[in-house]
Amino acid sequence: MKANRLTHDCRPGCNKKRIAAGLTGKTMNYYGLSGKHIVKILYFLFVIMHFSYNIFAQNPGLQGDSLPGAFVLTADAEHHCVCGDGATLQACDTCFDRAHPILKMAYDLGCRNKEIIKGSCWTFANEVYRRTAGPEGKSTIYLKPKSGPYAQSALIRPGDWIYHINYSFRGVDHSALFVCWTDFERRRGLTLSYYGLNRKIPARIEEFDLRNVFGIFRMNEGAGPANGNL
């Protein structure tokens, strides 16, 4: 009976392998793999996982809410706000409730309250940081001339104040608050910003080509609101 169970198999060729394994004294599983083969496969998988962990550990910008296509904003554990269409995200009344403090302030000013802060695009970003972080509430993460070299995308996090080239408007430099990536590989992402030029239009969420980001500023941990300019 034992021999019958050993040779009964619906896979062609497996019977001979199992019988041969029994005759030679080797222990093989259903797929004909020996213990040594299984150990090698497990070791190979361990190496891959360890290598992947090191990459993410050394590049915080690739983790969690900055992953390509991953959600960035969430109102609570039951609401997932996907980084996709800017108009859809702007129309969501709960997505920014528990977002980064900078993004929540920017959304409240521009999208909820429709408050118009006249001046340049820099004026709006500065006002958001002033109200949220205070005059000493930010650090320079990356800053180069407009001509480059440009920052790696992995450096950028939600809530960062970025300087980038606006290819949709004459290639001028533009200040914006980074929201999330819509396409990490192509370096396209959503930002919340004011057009500038003293226009009577509140800030809004739009998708931009962020290949050439030459400035990144970030709110310091523990920073709070205060009067003054950054």
Domain ranges of the chain: 2-58, 86-219
- In the chain, the percentage of residues whose pLDDT exceeds 70 is 65
Q: What are the structure tokens assigned to 67, written together?
A: 């992953």
Distance CA 195, CA 211 (A): 19
Q: What are the tens digits of pLDDT across the range 127-176?
A: 999 999 987 789 999 999 999 899 999 999 999 999 999 988 777 899 99
Distance CA 174, CA 192 (A): 11
The answer to whether residues 153 and 82 touch, using CB atoms and an 8 Å cutoff, is no
pTM for the structure as a whole: 0.66
Distance CA 70, CA 132 (A): 25
Task: Please state which of the four CATH numbers 3.40.50.300, 3.90.1720.60, 2.60.120.260, 1.10.357.10 is assigned to the domain occupying 86-219.
Answer: 3.90.1720.60
Taking 70 as the pLDDT cut, the residues of the chain under it are 1-33, 37, 39-40, 43-80, 225-230
pLDDT of residue 201: 87
pLDDT of residue 28: 54
